[in-house]
Structure 1
Amino acid sequence: MKKKEIETLLAHHAEDRHAYHGAVVPPIFQNSLFTFKDWDAIDEAFDNRIDRYIYSRGKNPTVKMVEEKIAMMAGGEKAQLFPSGMAAITASCMHFLEPNDHVITIKNVYGPANNLLTNYLSKKMGITTTFISGKEVSAFAKAIQENTKLIYLESPSSAVFSLQNISEIALLAKKHGIKTMIDNTWATPLYQQPLAMGIDLEVHSTTKYMGGHSDLVGGVVIGKRVDVDAIFHHEYELLGMKTAPMEAWLLLRSLRTLPMRLKQHQESTMKIAQYLEGHAKITKVNYPGLPSHEQYELGTQQMNGYTGLLSFQLETNDIEKIKAFFNGLELFLIGVSWGGHESLIYAPAISYLKELSPEQFTAMGISLGDIRISIGLESADDLLNDLEQALALI
């Protein structure tokens, strides 16, 4: 039989329907522990905790099925689910870092990840971090120190959606014996494959497009078996970063429709991004799918699609006018997340001014007038009309 397409694989890969009586939807293994017939059986299981089911804080059949689907989709040897995207990020950083190590990352990295590096790991482990724009590979080379152990990427980046040259940075890192990881939540493994470009670990908030229905919170780490197994034995088990079977089951449901949902997100978002780009009250649109994006060519080289999250800059920084637009929308719900079926609006300044120092906020290159929207699965025309009437309020 010919090689199966991703839509087919996400529907069938890692599922053994004969094992659960032919049910077209797998059951939820909502149990805390697994029992054994005798001493020798449980003794043998403890010799192979990485693959055997003993206690659901470790391995669980529902969770494992989803992990195998995601690893296949991303081209990784193995995946490990986590209870949140930040849990996945934290576990990965702690896996690669020892006290007094140095990290290189981008200025526009996700706010809580920035906080993890500059506050928590800095105080607890003496970790130092150099923040760069990430647009030039040479800047990564210049930032390397003797104790640099990790390069942490996020492409496209938070808030402004700038890109990093993933394959060249991976080559640079390998040359210097530095590990790499990337937050690939925006593009998903369907539209960008960092592991194939040489990245060591790929992390996602599965809350976003993989989940897609705004009814679960989760994260995942994908990479080589040796790294993922080590994370399981240390950070995952010892810190109790368990994924609940129910949330894994919801994620399993969502993965079946991911390719179709992403196509709709991309089609609607492109239409809306083009509209916003031509609007007199908007000075800039940040969306890698637009030819006007300063790194558009790089995007075409390392991505094969674009999802539904973008930002734009209003022509004003008058907070009352910004609020009038923000509050005037009817279809765009106000919320912090993205990647779900619903369209959302958020102003990064709201949380970043609370999470970061004024200097860090300024370094990110964003202002009060920067607005982020996530395009859902509603009619694109209806969303355009909503934006138009709200922009008229400025």
Structure 2
Amino acid sequence: MAKSEERMKDIEICMHYGEVPNSYNGAIIPPTFSNTLFVYPTFEELGKAVSNEQNHFVYTRGTNPTVQIAEQKLAELECGEACKCFASGMAAISAALVHSLKSGDHVLCISNVYFSSMDLLIYMEKFNVSHSVIYSTDIAAIEQALLPTTKVIYLECPTDHNFRLVDLKALACLAKNKGIRTIIDNTWATPLFQKPLTHGIDIVVHSTSKYLGGHSDLMGGAVISNKQIISKLFTDEFILFGGIMPPREASQLLRSLRTLPIRMATHEANALKVAKFLESHSAVEAVHYPGLPSHPDYGLGQRQLTGYSGLLSFTLKNATYETVKEVINKTKVFQIGVSWGSFESLIMSPNYGNNADQLKKEHTSPGLIRLSVGQGDADELIQDLKQALE
């Protein structure tokens, strides 16, 4: 499918897919089904529904009409067969990993991943699940890092903080040949700019709190895969752990998806302007953004991505905590805070002044500053960075 055709299809999915206005009296927006349970005319019909709860509305901890529409949209956007929405991105990641592992298994993480994902893997050591990290995105190096007990390769693409890309098709081929499951956090690219399942990746996870939500007012997560994986995950990690997405959050997610294509285009345009400015500034050592031709993985990105989001980082030449702190505190338009992917522009650093050993271990420069470029005016953001860097 041509990129233009794929983009038009994605827009249609975000706008209308899974919605049936005639089923709710012609309402242009699907109602929020906030009820906790669903009743049936007879006990026999209830019994049939309970025995097949994935395909019937019985209790909102299992299925809910509003949540179901959001799940259908996300599955279709990711070219997956099914999706389950969760209360947070970490709930989704936890479900995907626990579902894929058992005692004695090993997880290989590729380069930098979200710190809470790493904390989860450390926690899982109590269940005899081990993990290691390969700080390289080279497929040959990744293969060398595999163990006989490796059952899952977990990654973010681009990687956290340093924004390196992994060849997903080559990785999926390697993993399938060795009987290893691949799980990717696709939050940075969104389904609009990268579709890992089409490259052979097994499971995609998202924090819907980021770009998919886009307004800093909802928490959520999602797991997308084939029907077999999602069906088993539904009966185990979804139903039993109880980390469901409430109907109200699903309704907010549906609202946000309608503007996702427009918002992502703005994030991309603004971030590219900001990245180019930073690349030309004398105080900046390097800019980490796959949309720049100078990025080491730019060629791979042109083949694998159809666009670039608004999250990037740069490294100061004077790579000290004091300089990082001074630059961040001098910004006026960029706000200081965690998270990313929303309308506001944010600035932060993984260097907190007391974690030098951790940064070195993770191959992260102490002079790294992360930007979430939002929906504001790019020139205003550039002027803010310019005065902060001076």
The answer for the alignment partner of 1:202 in structure 2 is 204
Matches within 5 A, 1:140-219: 140-219=142-221
Aligned residue among 378, 381, 385 for 1:380: 378
Task: Confirm or deny: 8 A CA contact 2:82 2:226 kept in the other structure.
Answer: yes
User: In structure 2, the residue corresponding to 1:134 is in which secondary structure?
Assistant: coil
The answer for the alignment partner of 2:298 in structure 1 is 296
The one-character-per-residue Cα deviations of 1:68-96 (angstroms, maximum 9, x if unpaired) are 00101110000110111111111100011
Q: Which runs of 5+ in 1 are unaligned?
A: none
Question: Could you tell me the TM-score, scaled by structure 2's length?
Answer: 0.96
Matches within 5 A, 1:308-323: 308-323=310-325
Rounded Cα–Cα distance in structure 1 between residues aligned with 2:309 and 2:139: 25
User: In structure 1, the residue corresponding to 2:223 is in which secondary structure?
Assistant: strand
The answer for the alignment partner of 1:112 in structure 2 is 116
Task: Confirm or deny: 8 A CA contact 2:111 2:155 kept in the other structure.
Answer: no
Cα distance change of structure 1 residues 326 and 81 upon mapping to structure 2, 3 Å threshold: same
Rounded Cα–Cα distance in structure 2 between residues aligned with 1:241 and 1:216: 15
Task: Confirm or deny: 8 A CA contact 1:186 1:307 kept in the other structure.
Answer: yes
Rounded Cα–Cα distance in structure 1 between residues aligned with 2:343 and 2:276: 21
The answer for the alignment partner of 1:31 in structure 2 is 35
Equivalent residue pairs, number:
385
Task: Confirm or deny: 8 A CA contact 1:200 1:223 kept in the other structure.
Answer: yes
Matches within 5 A, 1:1-394: 5-117=9-121, 119-123=122-126, 125-350=127-352, 353=355, 359-392=357-390
Q: Which runs of 5+ in 2 are unaligned?
A: none
The CA RMSD over aligned residues, in Å, is: 1.5
Question: Could you tell me the TM-score, scaled by structure 1's length?
Answer: 0.95
* One-letter identity of the residue aligned with 1:6: D
The one-character-per-residue Cα deviations of 1:301-339 (angstroms, maximum 9, x if unpaired) are 111110000000112234333222111111111111100
Task: Confirm or deny: 8 A CA contact 1:107 1:363 kept in the other structure.
Answer: no
Deviation at 1:149, TM superposition (A): 0.7
Rounded Cα–Cα distance in structure 2 between residues aligned with 1:5 and 1:226: 25
Deviation at 1:352, TM superposition (A): 9.6
Rounded Cα–Cα distance in structure 2 between residues aligned with 1:300 and 1:253: 30
User: In structure 2, the residue corresponding to 1:64 is in which secondary structure?
Assistant: helix
User: In structure 1, the residue corresponding to 2:351 is in which secondary structure?
Assistant: helix
Task: Confirm or deny: 8 A CA contact 1:105 1:134 kept in the other structure.
Answer: no
Rounded Cα–Cα distance in structure 2 between residues aligned with 1:74 and 1:351: 39
Task: Confirm or deny: 8 A CA contact 2:321 2:351 kept in the other structure.
Answer: no
Task: Confirm or deny: 8 A CA contact 1:349 1:366 kept in the other structure.
Answer: no
The one-character-per-residue Cα deviations of 1:205-235 (angstroms, maximum 9, x if unpaired) are 1111100111001110001011011111101
Task: Confirm or deny: 8 A CA contact 1:134 1:163 kept in the other structure.
Answer: no
